[in-house]
Amino acid sequence: MTSKEKSTRAIVTVLGTDKVGIIAGVTDVLASCRVNILDIRQSIMQEFFTMIMVVDFSTSQMDFATVGKKLDEKAEEMGLQIKIQHEDVFRFMHRI
């Protein structure tokens, strides 16, 4: 883990009440940051919107904190909860 090149993939999670334009809004932010989306999974449970995206940072010039801030702004604007975390968090916590 420490010796090889660090992965540039992250997980974006979006939680909130369903409404028009959530996917468009979030993907628009990611596109403007030149962050590539590798996978999207989305579901709605009783009007509760959940979206999990796997994204790749290698094409982006921006760092985590900057993209995170832009997503925070979007979250604020749309009344959602958006979080971006390096994929290692999930890999490490749940896999041996």
Partner 1 sequence: MFDKEEILETINMVQQEHLDIRTITMGISLRDCAHSDAKVSQNKIYDKITRLAKNLLKVGEQLEAEFGIPIVNKRISVTPIAMVAESCDTDDYVDFAHALERAAREVGVNFIGGFSALVHKGYTKGDKNLIRAIPRALAETERVCSSVNIGTTKAGINMDAVYEMGKVIKEAAALTADRDGLGCAKLVVFCNVPEDNPFMAGAFHGVGEPECVINMGVSGPGVVRNAVQRIPDADFGNLAETIKRTAFKITRMGELVGREASRRLGVPFGIVDLSLAPTPAIGDSVADILEGMGLERTGTHGTTAALALLNDAVKKGGAMASSHVGGLSGAFIPVSEDEGMIRAVEAGALTLDKLEAMTCVCSVGLDMIAVPGDTTAETIAAIIADEAAIGMINSKTTAVRIIPVEGKKVGDVVEFGGLLGRAPIMPVHNFSSTAFVRRGGRIPAPIQSLRN
The contact set with partner 1 (CB under 8 A) reads 1-2, 10-11, 13, 15, 39, 41, 43, 50, 52, 54, 63-65, 68, 83-90, 92-94
Contact between residue 50 and residue 43 where contact means Cβ atoms under 8 Å apart:
yes
Contact between residue 76 and residue 70 where contact means Cβ atoms under 8 Å apart:
no
User: Residue holding tokens 């958006």?
Assistant: 82
Q: Tell me whether residue 8 or residue 27 sits nearer to partner 1 (CB atom).
A: 8
**Cβ at position 84, least distance to partner 1 in Å:** 7
CA–CA dist 28, 23 (Å, integer): 8
Q: Tell me whether residue 56 or residue 87 sits nearer to partner 1 (CB atom).
A: 87
